Amino acid sequence: MSHEAPLPAGMPPGFDIRGNELCVAGTPVSELAARVGDRPFYAYDSALMSERVRFLRTHLPAEIDLHYAIKANPMPAVVQHMSGLTEGLDVASAAELGVALSTGVDPLDISFAGPGKSARDLEDAVSAGVIIILESFNEMERVAALAAKHHCQPPVAVRVNPDFELKSSGMKMGGGPRPFGVDAEDVPELLQRIAREPLRFMGLHIFTGSQNLRHEALIEAHDQTFALAQRLAAESPMPIQWLNIGGGLGIPYFPGDQPLALEPVCDNLRQRFSAWQAAHPDCTVVMELGRYLVAEAGVYVCRVSDRKTSRGQVYLITNGGLHHHLALSGNFGQVIRKNYPVCIGNRVHGDTEEVVNIVGPLCTPLDILGQRMSLPVAGIDDLIVVFQSGAYGFTASPHLFLSHPAPEELLL
Enumerate the active-site residues: 363
Is residue 160 at the binding interface for ligand PLP, with CB under 6 A as the rule? no
Beta bridge partners of 408: 41
Out of 71, 81, 200, 222, the residue judged to bind ligand PLP by CB under 6 A: 71
Q: Does 68 bind ligand PLP (CB under 6 A)?
A: no
The count of C-alpha atoms lying within 13 angstroms of the C-alpha of 277, restricted to the half-sphere facing its C-beta, is 13
- Contact residue for ligand PLP among 11, 29, 33, 69 (CB under 6 A): 69
Q: How do 200-206 and 171-172 pair as beta strands?
A: unpaired
Strand partners, 161: 183
DSSP 267-328: HHHHHHHHHHHHH-TT-EEEEEESHHHHGGGEEEEEEEEEEEEETTEEEEEES--TTT-TGG
CB 75 within 8 A of CB 298: no
Indicate which single residue of 93, 161, 210, 318 sits in contact with ligand PLP (rule: CB under 6 A): 210
CB atoms within 10 A of CB 19: 10
89/384 with CB nearer ligand PLP: 89
Q: Is 140 among the residues that bind ligand PLP (CB under 6 A)?
A: no
Binding piece for ligand PLP, criterion CB under 6 A, among 25-33, 68-76, 191-199, 399-407: 68-76
Select 107 or 376, whichever has its Cβ closest to ligand PLP.
Answer: 107
Q: Which range touches ligand PLP (CB under 6 A), out of 95-103, 258-266, 287-295, 300-308?
A: 287-295
By beta-carbon proximity to ligand PLP, the closer residue of 41 and 292 is 292
Window 17 to 46, contacts with ligand PLP (CB under 6 A): none
CA distance 392 to 340: 13
- Here's the x/- map for ligand PLP, 79-98, by CB under 6 A: it reads as -----------x--------
Q: Are 261 and 214 in contact, with CB atoms under 8 Å apart? A: no
Residue 211 vs 319, nearer CB to ligand PLP: 211
Please state, in angstroms and rounded to a whole number, the distance separating the CA atoms of residues 361 and 350.
25
Q: Which residues contact 364 (CB under 8 A, 6 or more apart)?
A: 322
The CB-of-262 to ligand PLP minimum distance in angstroms stands at 14
Binds ligand PLP (CB under 6 A): choice among 10, 155, 181, 290: 290
* DSSP secondary structure code for residue 203 in this structure: E
49 SS3 class: helix
What residues contact 4, with CB distance under 8 A and at least 6 apart?
A: none
Give yes or no for residue 158 binding ligand PLP (CB under 6 A). Answer: no
**Residue 292 touching ligand PLP (CB under 6 A):** yes
Per CB under 6 A, 246 contacts ligand PLP:
yes
Binder among 45, 288, 367, 409 for ligand PLP (CB under 6 A): 288
The residue number whose beta carbon is nearest to ligand PLP equals: 290
329-360 b/e with 16+ CB inside 10 Å = b?
A: bbbeeeeeeebbbbbbbbbbbeeeeeebbbbb
Residue 303 phi/psi, 5-degree rounding, is -120, 145
**227-235, 271-279, 286-294, 313-321 -> range binding ligand PLP (CB under 6 A):** 286-294
Residue with smaller CB distance to ligand PLP, 367 or 409: 409
Q: Smallest gap, in angstroms, from Cβ of residue 21 to ligand PLP? A: 30
What is the rounded distance in angstroms from the CA atom of residue 39 to the CA atom of residue 406?
7
Q: Is 257 exposed, middle or buried (0-12, 13-18, 19+ CB in 10 A)?
A: middle
Site string for ligand PLP, 363-392 (x = CB under 6 A): ----------------------------x-
> Least Å distance between CB 111 and ligand PLP?
8
Q: How far is the CB of 177 from ligand PLP (least distance, A)?
A: 17
The answer to whether 49 contacts ligand PLP (rule: CB under 6 A) is no
Size of the site for ligand PLP (CB under 6 A): 16
CA distance to 91, 134, 245, per residue, from 203 (Å):
17, 10, 11
Q: How buried is 58 (Cβ within 10 angstroms: 0-12 exposed, 13-18 middle, 19+ buried)? A: exposed
Binding residues for ligand PLP, per CB under 6 A? 69, 71-72, 90, 113, 207, 210-211, 246-247, 288-292, 391
